[in-house]
A and B are shown apart, each in its own frame.
Chain A
Amino acid sequence: MTTTAPPQQGSIAVAHAAHRTAKKKARVARRLVLPALIFSIVLTQIPFLVAIVFSTLEWNQLRPDKIHFNWFANYAVVFTGPDFFSSLISTVTITGSSVVLSLVFGLMFALLLDRKFTGQALARTLVITPFLVMPAAAALIWKWSMLDANVGMVNWGLNLVGLPSISWNTDLPVLTVIMMLTWQYTPFFMLILLAGLQSQSKEILEAASVDGAGPIRVFESMTLPHLRQYIEIATLLGSIMMLQVFDPIAIMTKGSGGTKTLSYLLYERAFIGLDVGQAAAFGVVTVVITIVTTSIILRSLFSVFIDGGKR
C-alpha cells in the first residue's frame, strides 16, 4: 500500500501514517473479536478454573457437611485408582479403531463415489446421511434394531448366510460402539477425502494411465501422496471428535465390558458417584491430556495451513 511511496522527504510522515492506520486496523479488529472472546472465556475458561478449585476439595455431595480443602489428594486417587488407566486404554482402543475403520471406509467410498456412474449424486447423498443422524437415535437404532440378539437385523443377515447369531450387546460391547462410531464418522472422512480427490488434476492421472501405469500404480504413486494432507487432517479432526464421544456409550453399553472411556468415567464420578472433588480432578487430568495432544496436533496443522496460507 503506502510502502510504495518514494524514499524522499516526507517518507517518515508516510511511515507514521501507515503505522497509524495499521494500529487503527488492529484496534477495530480487536473490537470485532472481543465479544466472542469474552463469551468463550465466561462459558468455558471460568468453569474450568472453578473445576480446578473443586479438584482440591474433599467434597462428596452425599456428605455436604464435610467439604474441606485437601490439596492434591483427589489427584493421587486418580492416578493410583484402577479406573483411570483402564479407561485410558478403553478410550485409545475405541477411538483408535473407529478412526482407522472410518478412514478405510471413508477412503473406499470417496474413491468409489469420485467415479462417474448412474445415480452418483443420489449415492453421495445417501452416504452422507449417517453423519446427519442424531447420535442418540443412531445409538438406539443400532442397539435395538440392528444388533439385538433376537430381533436385530445383523443377526438375521448372519443367519441368512448360515452363520450363527451373536449376542452383540452383551458379549461384544466394545465392538458395538466401534461399529456405531465407524458408521457415523465414515461420511465425515469421505467428504474430506472426496474434496481432496476432486482437487487433483484429472489430466495428469489420464496422462499417467496413457503412459501405461495401472490403476493401482496410479493410486499408490499419485493419488495417495496427493491425499496425504487430507488424510492427516481428517484423521486428526476425527480423533479429536471421537475422543470426547459419550452418547453411544451412555446409550448402548453404559460403560460395561471395556467401554468406559474417560468422558464416561467422568460423568459417572460426577453424576452417579456424586463425588465433586474426585470428578473435578478427573476432569482436569482429562483436559490436560486432551490439550497436550491437540496442541501438538494443532501446532503442526497451523504451521501448514495458516502460516503457509496467504493471510
Chain B
Amino acid sequence: MRSLRSAALTIFTWALVLMFFFPILWMVFTAFKSELDASSIPPKFIVDLTLSQFEDAFNRGMGFYLMNSLIASVGSTIIVLMLAIPAAYGLSVRPITKVKDVLFFFISTRFMPIAAIILPIFLILKTIGGLDNIIALVLLYTAINLPIAIWMMRSFFSEVPLEIIEAAQIDGANLRIELTRVVLPIVLPGIAAVALISFIFAWNEYFIATLITTVDARTAPPFLVSFVDGRGQFLAVLSAASTLAVLPVIIAGWAAQKQLVRGLAMGAVK
C-alpha cells in the first residue's frame, strides 16, 4: 500500500516534470523538421529529420551573432570577476565601517529599472558614436551583473573561516598572497557559480542589445526575434536558431548544476 502510493507519486512527479519541460523538448524536435512538418496540424511526431534548418540559420548569419553574444558575455564576465572579487572581499573579510550602506548601494543599482537609464546611455552613446559597438555592450552587461556578483561573492567569502586569514596575516602574507593563495582556492566553487550566472544573464540579455546594436554588434536574442516575419513559415528555422542560441547556456548550466544551484540559493538566502 505504502509502496503503491509512492509509485503513484513518482509517476505523478514525472508527468509534471515532462509537461513542464515539454516546450524545450518540442523546440529541439521542431528544429529538426521541415517547415511543412513543423506547422502541420495535428502535429507530426514521426517525421523525416533534417539538418537543413540549422544550415538555413547559419546561412542567415547565426554564427556571426552567436560570436557577438559570446564576446559580450565572456568579456563582461571577466570584468565582473575582476571588479567583484576584490570588492566582495573588502566588504566581507575586511569589514569597512559602512558595509551595509555600500552593499545597499550596489544592490539598489541592480533594482533600478534599466529602462530608465537606457535613454541617457543611448543618447550619450549616439553622441560619441558608440552605438552598435560590442565594447559598449560589454560595459553595460558588466554594470548590470556587478551588483549581483558582489552580493553573491560576499556570501561565499563570509564562509571562509577568519582564523585561516588571520593565520596567513600573522605569517606575514601581504594582501595579494592572502587573496590569491589563501582565500581564492577556498571560494573557487563560489567564483565559478558567480561567473556562470553572470555569463547566463549576459548571454540571454535582449533589451539593451536590441536598442544599442543594429548590425556589427548585434547579438543572438534580437536576431532570433527577427526570424518572425509576415511571410508565414518560420517555425522550424526559428526553432533551429533558438536551439542553437539556448544550447550553450543549457549545457553549461547542466554541467555546472551544483555550482549554479549553490550560487543562486546562496546569493538569495545568505
A interface with B by C-beta (< 8 Å): 1, 25-26, 28-33, 35-37, 39-40, 43-45, 47-48, 50-51, 54, 108-109, 112-113, 115, 117-119, 123-130, 132-138, 140-142, 144-146, 150-151, 153, 156, 183, 186, 188, 191-192, 194-196, 229-230, 233-234, 237, 240, 243-244, 246-247, 250-251, 262-263, 266-267, 270-271, 276, 279-280, 282-284, 286-287, 290-291, 294-295, 298, 302, 305-307, 309-311
Contacts and interface: CB of A to CB of B under 8 A. Distances in A.
Contacts of A291: 108, 111-112
B32 to A, nearest CB: 14
A137 B116 contact: no
A200 to B, nearest CB: 13
Per DSSP, chain B at the interface is: helix
Interface in B236-264: 238-239, 242, 245-246, 249-250, 253-254, 257, 260-261, 264
A274 to B, nearest CB: 10
Interface residues of B, number: 101
Interface string B215-244: 000001110110110000001001100100
Q: Which 10 residue pairs are nearest across A and B when measured between Cβ atoms?
A: A32-B90, A283-B116, A195-B265, A36-B87, A43-B143, A50-B120, A136-B221, A137-B242, A29-B90, A29-B94
B13 A35 contact: no
B116 A286 contact: yes
Contacts, number: 294
B222 A117 contact: no
B67 interface: no
B211 A271 contact: yes
A40 to B, nearest CB: 5
A305 B162 CA distance: 19
B100 A286 contact: no
* Most chain B CB within a 10 A radius of its CB, from A54, A262, A276, A306: A306
